Amino acid sequence: MGNISARDRNVVWHPYTPMKLWPDAIAITRGSGAWLIDEKGDRYLDAISSWWVNLHGHSHPYIAKRIAAQLTTLEHCIFAGFTHEPAVQLAERLLQVLPGDMARIFYSDNGSTAVEVAIKMAVQYWANTGQPKKRIVALENAYHGDTFGAMAVSARSTFNASFADYLFDVSFIPTPTPGEEQKSIAALEAILAKGDVAAFIAEPLIQGSAGMIMYSPDALEQLFATCRRHNTLIIADEVMTGFGRTGTLFACEHITTGPDIICLSKGLTGGFFPMGVTATTQQIFDAFYDDDKSKMLYHGHSYTANATICAAALASLDLLLADECHQSRERIIRAHQQFAATISDHKVVTNLRQTGTILAMDINSGENSYHSSIRDRMYRFFLGKKILLRPLGNILYILPPYCITDSELEKTYAAIREFLDNELATQG
Ligand SMILES: Cc1ncc(COP(=O)(O)O)c(C=O)c1O
């Protein structure tokens, strides 16, 4: 263990980490392309885009240059009563590419706060328009973040069990996985028929943290259309699915019924900085546009619309919208398809699934929980191969940055094959 790791052990508390069981963090000193380089000089292939945030590679020189230029012009300023070019330009450009009829951009700090803002907008929309709708509906298994509102609309699970008593009541409907579509739609229909639902929130097409659970655009379309029919607001949490992960720029582009609110974060800045965006329609904005101050949205963070972060997001958008990035995403999609075909009959692989650049599978070792030992075995095995894959329980997935090369993908596939063929069979 090097110097940074040793010091870390004494002073730092890491996220989603049982500190007693996993006290040693790998100290990264540099990043380049799809690689993270540690203090000993070991290189790790980042096949999960560092918790799904990185799009174009680490320390990308174009984004870094734009950040540096912004830093020496305006690093940050208060965003209540003041504005700046990067925030306005980012809002203009996001509105051009977002699906649905988005008309306004509200900035916050991360995915969880983007969701908090969405919930507050939806609830207050009905209060401001004098209609008593308060209930939120979400999908079973959902994960929308770790702040209290975001936890409340997430599935009750090991993630939030300690806080269950503090979470407001939410109605959950089954995820419309293949074969469950009608059950899910019927459950939504029944709840919405009561007339008290303010909003329905969903991760479109893929429930990421739940274990890359995938469902079809057709099912999403039917859920959204049901909400539309019942005059219920639709919140699409595209924190993970946004910015190209599902093949289109945003997952909601796979369908025609547009959401009323879209939450963004993660890939928004290319993985350089935290930022949340809650985009919404003119109709929702208008409900807050009033002479009566009690109707405004009482929400804001000290670093709202930080100019340096906006500059990073603008630079990342340039790269994302370039032909080269589009082709890379297509290349990754094809490579995943070809690899998937080679392991589809493997005896321990079930529920092999792909949406866009995300490939996932269940590893059937007889242990399925988030805390199962197969998860730790897989994690350690791949780290030993110098590949960062971070399984969700027994669910193994690849979610690479778009700069990943064919040979880097092949290295990842080969390691997975080796785990399936040899490692799993030989160690207990
Ligand atoms: C769909 C979804 N929503 C919200 C969040 C929360 O984002 P953050 O970790 O930036 O707060 C996540 C994080 O994984 C997510 O996957």
Which of 159, 214, 266 gets mutated to test ligand 1 (max ligand atoms within 8 A of its CB)? 266
Tokens of 192: 């919405």
pLDDT for residue 428 is more than 60 = no
| Same structural domain, 8 and 126 | no
Contact criterion met (CB below 8 Å) for 315 and 94: no
| Same structural domain, 152 and 45 | no
Contact criterion met (CB below 8 Å) for 264 and 277: yes
Identify which has the larger pLDDT, 325 or 23.
325
The number of folded domains in the chain is 2
Each residue's pLDDT tens digit, 255-297? 999 999 999 999 999 999 999 999 999 999 999 999 999 999 9
Each residue's pLDDT tens digit, 123-144? 999 999 999 899 999 999 999 9
Each residue's pLDDT tens digit, 16-47? 999 999 889 999 999 999 999 999 999 999 99
| CA of 291 relative to ligand 1 center, distance in Å | 35
pLDDT band of residue 401 (cuts 50, 70, 90) is: very high
Task: Determine the Cα–Cα distance for residues 193 and 198; give it in Å rounded to an integer.
Answer: 12
| Same structural domain, 124 and 181 | yes
- Name the strand (E) or helix (H) holding 225: helix 217-229
Among 325, 351, 348, residue whose Cα is nearest residue 416: 348
Query: For the chain, how many residues are written?
Result: 428
- The confidence score (pLDDT) of residue 369 equals 62
- The confidence score (pLDDT) of residue 422 equals 86
Question: Could you tell me whether strands 206-207 and 213-214 are parallel, antiparallel, or unpaired per DSSP bridges?
Answer: antiparallel
| Same structural domain, 279 and 418 | no
| Same structural domain, 384 and 401 | yes
| Same structural domain, 95 and 184 | yes
Q: Residue 290's domain spans which residues?
A: 64-321
- Amino acid in the structure at residue 36: L
Residues involved in catalysis = 16, 143, 237, 266
Each residue's pLDDT tens digit, 162-216? 999 999 999 999 999 999 999 999 999 999 999 999 999 999 999 999 999 999 9
| Same structural domain, 113 and 168 | yes
| Same structural domain, 205 and 307 | yes
Residues 6+ apart with CB under 8 A from 30: 36, 37, 59
| CA of 1 relative to ligand 1 center, distance in Å | 31
Q: Give the nearest ligand 1 atom to 114 CA.
A: 4
E strands, 63-217, are: 102-108, 135-139, 171-173, 197-202, 206-207, 213-214
Each residue's pLDDT tens digit, 222-263? 999 999 999 999 999 999 999 999 999 999 999 999 999 999
The domain boundary residue, chosen from 280, 301, 321? 321
Of the candidate ranges 104-108, 231-235, 258-262, 374-378, the one whose mean pLDDT is the lowest: 374-378
Give the mean model confidence (pLDDT) for residues 108-118.
98
Cα angle: 88, vertex 117, 173; to 5 degrees: 130
| CA of 240 relative to ligand 1 center, distance in Å | 7
The domain boundary residue, chosen from 290, 321, 352? 321
pLDDT for residue 1 is more than 80 = no
Task: Determine the Cα–Cα distance for residues 334 and 363; give it in Å rounded to an integer.
Answer: 22
| Same structural domain, 252 and 344 | no
Does ligand 1 lie within 6 Å of residue 115's CB atom? Answer: yes
| Same structural domain, 97 and 234 | yes
- Amino acid in the structure at residue 359: L
Residues 6+ apart with CB under 8 A from 384: none
| Same structural domain, 138 and 169 | yes
The DSSP letter of residue 420 is I
Task: Determine the Cα–Cα distance for residues 293 and 281; give it in Å rounded to an integer.
Answer: 20
The domain boundary residue, chosen from 270, 287, 321? 321
Q: What is the CATH number of the domain that holds 261?
A: 3.40.640.10
Q: What is the CATH number of the domain that holds 48?
A: 3.90.1150.10
Tokens of 77: 């300023």
Give the mean model confidence (pLDDT) for residues 303-307.
98
| Same structural domain, 15 and 49 | yes
pLDDT for residue 86 is more than 50 = yes
- How many Cβ atoms are within 10 Å of 304's Cβ, its own excluded? 20
